[in-house]
Each structure stands twice: as structure tokens, then as C-alpha cells.
Amino acid sequence: MAESVESLKAFMTELGGRTNKRRTDLAAVLKALVKARTVVILAHVNPDADALGSALALGLALESSGREVVVSFSYPSEVPASLRALPGQHLIRPVELVPTTPDLVVSVDVGSVERLGALGSLFRTAGDSVCIDHHASNTGFGNHQLIDTGANATVCLIAEILNDLDQDLTKAIATNLYAGLATDTGGFRFAASQDHVLAAELLEHRIDPEEIIRPIMDSHPFGWLGMLSSVLGDAVLDRSAVGGAGLVAVTISLAAAEGMRQEELDSVIDIIRTADEAEVAAVIKETDPGRWQVSLRAKNFANVAAVAATLGGGGHPRAAGYGTSGQAHDVLSELTAALGGSAVRS
């Protein structure tokens, strides 16, 4: 009993320390944002709705308070088609037009400087720097960090920041926040109670959820069906992986991906993860000859972030990824070895 009491006291002390640190971190980020007059906000390469939604929401808020704001990302050269309806596109600049010495550079939803591509150099040349993220694998770069792994989306942290800045939410800002929240929680399937509360608050600003989500999650060109037919026909199932809970995997070669947008390729993981026999789903996507990006998803208990970390990547316990090189079958073998078992064709 005494040990239990002491353990509880130790836990509460640790929790209080973590809470105090978060308050300190948040205060430092708020101070940096208030102080800056010129701000560059960066999303990761191949931005998703959480990354770009976070950047645009924060950018619109800072612009409304008189700041000079630029939003950018290194790759691709244009905004993904599925995200072009997000408000605030006028803030986005190509890499070559991004100021190199702003008062402040802010990264949102970015786990490491490497995920910023060519724009990572701004963390050396800007007057000050902030990193806002919710990935457990974040490397903690920048002068100030607000990294909260308990948040299910980076837009949740942006919403908190805007609230502390007494920033009134416009319909445009609410739209960007909702886009990131809905997509990073899998259409609210993995949402916590506070995520639903935030969604309700955003809906008060007369946003249209169906209009926001349709181009991001429910709209694909006809050629997408042919690509799916090709790659899903070669899916493999490893029933012994993950302690017998199973792994389902598909490989998308450069040839299969030809003509497809990033959005179409990213959607494959959500289809194969529906396989009942597999706790973990993996999409092994060729990005250059012999170079692969592996996306992982777990359903119930597998910590794919830990697996990804052993292979040079990271992410969330239920959604993670990493990059690697070699032949496709070697990449799959490496992954199945990390999870346990050997892949067999279904």
C-alpha cells in the first residue's frame, strides 16, 4: 500500500512538472508570435490537410492582426488539388519567393527539419523560430517548441494558440481548422472528447463539413479506380506478423503511380486497413527508382510509431511511416521482420 501511495505521489509530481513545462512552452510560443512583424509559416513536404490547414489558419489570424505573413512548403511546387479550396491561398508562396530573414519562422505539423526540405534553412536565418507539432517522433528543433503528443491534430494546438491570443475565429480560419481535425482523426473515428468539442465550436461559424471534406477525402479521378485494381490485386497478407494479429501490405511502383496525384496514392492505406485479418496495414510506395516511402496504420494495439522508429522514421502509435531504399521485396521483408513473421500472398 505504501508503495502504491509513493508511486501515485511520484506520478502526480511528474504530471505537474509536465503541465508546468507545457505552460512555459506555450507562453514562449505566444510571446514569439506577438513580437514578430514578419512571419513565415512552413508545412511539411507533401502537405496534408492538418499541415496546410494549421499553416493557413495561423497565417490568416496573424495577417488580420497586421503581420506580414507567408505560408509555404518545399514540395510539390503547387498546392495539392484536394487542398486548393482551403481559404487563405493568397498567403502561399513558392520556395523561391519565401523571405529568408523573417522575424519569425514557424513550422506546423513537422516532425523534423528534414521534413521541411529546402526551406529547413530558414531555421538558421530567421530572427526567431517556433515548432508546433503533435508527433511523438518530433526532434524538438527551433528556439521554441509546443509539442503535444496528446493532441490528435496540430490544428488543435493552433486553435488553443488562437484562443490564448484572443483571436476571433472567422469562417475561413474555422474551415482550415476543421479540415485538419476531421482528416487527422479519420473522420472523427479516432477523435477524443475534446476534438468533438472543438468541432462543435467550429460549426458555430457556419462552415459546411461536407463541402470541406469532399475534395479532400471523397473525390478522385476515374484513373484512380484502375490504379486500385492494379495494386490491390497484388496485396499480401502476413497472418503471423504482430504476434499473429496480421499485416496486410501493398506496393505501389512508379509505373502504377504514373498520372496519380499524391492524394490518390495516400488513399490506398485507408482501403487496405479494412482487412479483418490484419492489425497493421502498410503501403510501400516508390518515390524514385529504388526509393520507397512506407506508410503504416494500426487498428487496435500495435505501436507502429515504435516500429517506424527502428527503421528510421516515426509518427503516431496508430499512424506512422519511414523512408528506405532497395528492392520492393527486400523492403517488405525488412518490415515483416520488424513486425514478426513472413509475408504470404493472400
User: Phi/psi of residue 283, each to 5°?
Assistant: -115, 120
Per the listing, cell 506555450 goes with 26
Q: In this predicted model, what pLDDT tens digit does every residue of 80-131 receive, in sequence order?
A: 999 999 999 999 999 999 999 999 999 999 999 999 999 999 999 999 999 9
Report which secondary-structure segment, H or E, holds 127. Answer: none
CA distance 76 to 79: 7
What is the predicted pLDDT for the residue at 124?
97
CA distance 100 to 125: 6
CA distance 177 to 87: 11
Say what the pTM is: 0.85
What is the predicted pLDDT for the residue at 120?
97
Q: Strand 319-325 and strand 38-42: pairing?
A: unpaired
- What domains lie within the chain, and their CATH numbers? 2-217 (3.90.1640.10), 223-345 (3.10.310.30)
For the chain, residues with pLDDT lower than 50 are 1-3, 8, 11-12, 14-15, 341-346
Q: Are 107 and 142 in contact (CB under 8 A)?
A: yes
Angle at 288 (CA atoms; ends 214, 54), nearest 5 degrees: 35
Lookup: cell for 61: 489570424
**What number of residues does the chain have?**
346
What is the predicted pLDDT for the residue at 13?
53
Instruction: Please confirm whether the linkage preceding 76 is cis (ω < 30° from 0).
Output: yes
CB contact set of 133 (below 8 Å; sequence gap of 6+): 107, 108, 109, 110, 111, 145, 146, 147, 154, 157
Residue among 202, 160, 200 at smallest CA distance from 177: 202
